[in-house]
């Protein structure tokens, strides 16, 4: 945690990387942001962010969105028409965690597939679920992947193969890259921007969140071709995402893009520290983290009362038998060590 007294906070909040609060430097960037009316396309800070990210990730254009959910929704609705279908993972945010928006608002049918252990969607399953051109079936139009997915980094070879398959079969390819830069840092901490660009080179569109590990309070950016972004812009307006002096928010995202990408490696190191500290404790099975998310399976004896015990001692997490701990900008090594100590005390008492 920061030593800034305005951020002093005794709770170790490991529920999500969305809980971060803007740093003093980020708040300053927001304060001085030059703004205009973004619905007129006049906000220089929004335009600057969009141009910078599009260029960095190798796309023609980009569009600032209030949330990752809206960014994914506008992407799906731009790729697919009413009666079309997208192939997606059972645990993917765009299928499971977005209120069924693509189906409700876009009349787009999801075709969910089970994930392999590494988070990928098996190529044979993708192939087998692309429907023939027949009036009985929805038209399969899109493959949607997520990276990272449950904290796991999809292998670059897999991305190449899955997206080549999609392209061969005439499907567009969208990436929910809410945590694109976590994947990029895990692949190449020395040049995460280049790694992010390599990941994106396999997709027609990518949605990137700034309000997760990158630490901005709000905001996602959807990237794609100029024509695709023009379409998404119509949908964004329709679903109420046109914002006015949005440069105040875009300034936070731009600050994050410049200053908070490389430091994601610190979050990954803290996740490993947490996993190492918990492994071997009675009643826990710890999955080695690849990025900033640690999953821990707890026996019923240990799981019972664990979250309450943590909360009483100032540590927040989610899950029950499968617990989730997420490291981020507002957690430091001392906080992680405190979390380990509190969990250890509970496991030694209940799990022996
Ligand atoms: C993988 C993924 N995609 C998309 C989203 C949606 O982002 P938002 O909460 O900004 O709508 C989230 C949010 O947690 C996410 O984890």
- Residue 112 falls inside a structural domain: yes
Measured from the CA of 69, which atom of ligand 1 is nearest?
A: 11
For residues 329 and 229, state if they share a domain: no
187 prior amide bond cis, ω within 30: no
For ligand 1, the distance from its centroid to the CA atom of residue 133, given in whole angstroms, is 33
For ligand 1, the distance from its centroid to the CA atom of residue 69, given in whole angstroms, is 6
Count CB-CB contacts under 10 A for residue 9. Answer: 13
For residues 161 and 42, state if they share a domain: yes
Cα distance between the two ends of the chain: 33
Tokens found for residue 273: 């520290």
Measured from the CA of 179, which atom of ligand 1 is nearest?
A: 1
The per-residue pLDDT string of the chain (352 residues; one tens digit each, 9 = 90 and over) reads: 444 443 445 899 999 999 999 999 999 999 999 999 999 999 999 999 999 999 999 999 999 999 999 999 999 999 999 999 999 999 999 999 999 999 999 999 999 999 999 999 999 999 999 999 999 999 999 999 999 999 999 999 999 999 999 999 999 999 999 999 999 999 999 999 999 999 999 999 999 999 999 999 999 999 999 999 999 999 999 999 999 999 999 999 999 999 999 999 999 999 999 999 999 999 999 999 999 999 999 999 999 999 999 999 999 999 989 999 999 999 999 999 999 999 999 999 997 6
CATH number, domain with residue 214: 3.40.640.10
For residue 47, give its domain range.
33-259
List all residues whose CB is within 6 A of at least one atom of ligand 1.
18, 67-69, 72, 93, 146, 176, 178, 209, 211, 220
Instruction: Give 74's strand partners.
Output: none
Boundary-marking domain end, from 259, 292, 318: 259
Boundary-marking domain end, from 259, 285, 313: 259
For residues 310 and 229, state if they share a domain: no
- Could you tell me which of 122, 82, 130, 88 has the C-alpha nearest to residue 105? 82
Inter-residue contact 281 to 343 (CB < 8 Å)? yes
Give the distance from CA 338 to its chain's centroid: 26
- Residue 193 falls inside a structural domain: yes
Inter-residue contact 281 to 344 (CB < 8 Å)? yes
- Residue 273 falls inside a structural domain: yes
- Residue 6 falls inside a structural domain: no
For ligand 1, the distance from its centroid to the CA atom of residue 350, given in whole angstroms, is 34
Indicate the top mutation candidate among 97, 152, 216 to test ligand 1's pocket, ranked by most ligand atoms within 8 A of CB.
97
Q: Whose CA is nearest to atom 7 of ligand 1?
A: 68
Boundary-marking domain end, from 259, 293, 310: 259
For residues 203 and 345, state if they share a domain: no
**H-helix or E-strand containing 326?**
strand 322-326
Pairing between β-strand 322-326 and β-strand 293-298 as defined by DSSP bridges = antiparallel
Indicate the top mutation candidate among 15, 93, 153 to test ligand 1's pocket, ranked by most ligand atoms within 8 A of CB.
93
For residues 112 and 214, state if they share a domain: yes
For ligand 1, the distance from its centroid to the CA atom of residue 297, given in whole angstroms, is 23
What pLDDT sits at residue 5? 40
For residues 273 and 251, state if they share a domain: no
Indicate the top mutation candidate among 95, 178, 239 to test ligand 1's pocket, ranked by most ligand atoms within 8 A of CB.
178
CA gap 131, 140 in Å, rounded: 6
Instruction: Give 176's strand partners.
Output: 146, 207
For ligand 1, the distance from its centroid to the CA atom of residue 95, given in whole angstroms, is 11
Task: Say which residues have a Cβ less than 8 Å from residue 71's Cβ, sequence separation at least 6.
Answer: 63, 65, 207, 209, 220, 221, 222
- Residue 235 falls inside a structural domain: yes
Count CB-CB contacts under 10 A for residue 179. Answer: 27
Q: Whose CA is nearest to atom 13 of ligand 1?
A: 68
For residues 188 and 304, state if they share a domain: no
For residues 240 and 302, state if they share a domain: no
For residues 277 and 299, state if they share a domain: yes
Q: Whose CA is nearest to atom 5 of ligand 1?
A: 68
85 SS3 class: strand
pTM of the model: 0.96
φ, ψ at 237 (rounded to 5°)? -60, -45
Inter-residue contact 349 to 304 (CB < 8 Å)? no
CATH number, domain with residue 334: 3.90.1150.10
CA gap 349, 340 in Å, rounded: 14
- Residue 282 falls inside a structural domain: yes
The total domain count for the chain is 2
What pLDDT sits at residue 21? 96
For residues 142 and 232, state if they share a domain: yes
314: Cα within 13 Å, side-chain hemisphere: 11
Inter-residue contact 87 to 171 (CB < 8 Å)? yes
φ, ψ at 110 (rounded to 5°)? -80, 145
Strands, sheet with 322-326, edge to edge from the N-terminal-most edge strand: 284-286, 293-298, 322-326, 318-319
């Amino acid at each position: 945690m920061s030593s800034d007294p305005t951020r002093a906070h005794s709770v170790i909040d490991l529920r999500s990387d969305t809980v971060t609060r803007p740093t003093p430097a980020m708040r300053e960037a927001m304060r001085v942001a030059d703004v205009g009316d973004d619905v007129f396309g006049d906000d220089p800070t929004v335009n600057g962010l969009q141009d910078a990210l599009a260029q960095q990730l190798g796309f023609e254009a980009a569009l600032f969105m209030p949330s990752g959910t809206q960014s994914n929704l506008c992407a799906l609705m731009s790729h697919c028409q009413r009666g079309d279908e997208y192939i997606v993972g059972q645990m993917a945010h765009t299928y499971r965690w977005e209120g069924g928006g693509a189906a409700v608002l876009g009349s787009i049918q999801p075709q969910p597939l089970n994930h392999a252990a590494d988070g990928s969607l098996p190529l044979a399953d993708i192939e087998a679920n692309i429907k023939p051109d027949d009036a009985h079936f929805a038209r399969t139009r899109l493959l949607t992947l997520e990276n990272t997915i449950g904290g796991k980094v999809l292998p670059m070879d897999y991305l190449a193969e899955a997206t080549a398959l999609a392209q061969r079969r005439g499907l567009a390819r969208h990436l929910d890259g809410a945590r694109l830069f976590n994947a990029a840092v895990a692949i190449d901490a020395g040049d995460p921007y280049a790694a992010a660009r390599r990941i994106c080179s396999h997709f027609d569109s990518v949605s990137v969140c700034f309000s997760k590990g990158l630490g901005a309070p709000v905001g996602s950016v959807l990237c794609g071709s100029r024509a695709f972004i023009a379409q998404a812009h119509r949908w964004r307006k329709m679903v109420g995402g046109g914002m006015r002096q949005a440069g105040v928010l875009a300034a936070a995202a731009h600050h994050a893009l410049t200053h908070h990408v490389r430091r994601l490696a610190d979050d990954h190191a803290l996740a490993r520290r947490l996993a190492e500290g918990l492994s071997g404790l009675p009643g826990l099975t710890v999955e080695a983290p690849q990025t900033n998310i640690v999953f821990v399976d707890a026996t019923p004896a240990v799981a019972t009362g664990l979250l309450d015990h943590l909360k009483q001692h100032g540590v927040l997490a989610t899950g029950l038998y499968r617990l989730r701990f997420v490291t981020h900008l507002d957690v430091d090594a001392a906080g992680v060590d405190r979390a380990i100590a509190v969990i250890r005390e509970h496991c030694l008492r209940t799990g022996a």
